[in-house]
Structure 1
Amino acid sequence: MTSATITTKGQVTIPKEIRDYLNLDTGSKVDFVIDENGIVKLIPLNVPVQSLSGILHRPGMTTATLEDMEAAIREGSSDCS
């Protein structure tokens, strides 16, 4: 396991092994996600969105179709009126 130390400013240097694995360079953007089990995940934002598919999957969760998502958007926008 690779570890790092938090500075007094709350900053952390991502170890080289992890930067290499995630293909992160100076200026790369990352996101932090807390999953349903309370585990914090570091998500590189320099990757195609398709490769992130399923990272937040929970057992028993069904996938939404494009039509399902569009219907949910329509329902949500009618709530704003």
Structure 2
Amino acid sequence: MAAATITSKGQITIPVDVRNRLGLQSGDRIEFCFNGATGRYEVYPVTRSLASLKGIVKKPTKPVSIEDMNLAVEEQGASAR
């Protein structure tokens, strides 16, 4: 079983074997989820590949021109001020 020590700032270093099994690299994010059935927290990698995001945004029903996109960006920028 892997172990880590919590620093005075509440930080830990995840042991290398745990990072390897989770496929974690420097800069990756993790999520802590409480499992009510076991009464324990579980750790999940949050980092996703770009390919995993495919299909999240639906295709527009009608084509949108570059000019329309630029106009929408300008309008959003103006309303944000």
Query: What TM-score results when the alignment is normalised by the length of structure 2?
Result: 0.55
| TM superposition outliers: structure 1 runs of 4+ over 2 Å | none
Query: What TM-score results when the alignment is normalised by the length of structure 1?
Result: 0.55
For the aligned residue pairs, the C-alpha RMSD in angstroms reads 1.4
Percent identity over paired residues: 38
Q: Deviations over 1:6-49 (max 9, x none)?
A: 0000000000000000010011011000111320001101257x
Structure 2 CA distance for aligned equivalents of residues 6 and 35 of structure 1: 22
Structure 1: gaps spanning 5 or more residues: 49-81
Residues matched between the structures, number: 48
Larger Rg: 2
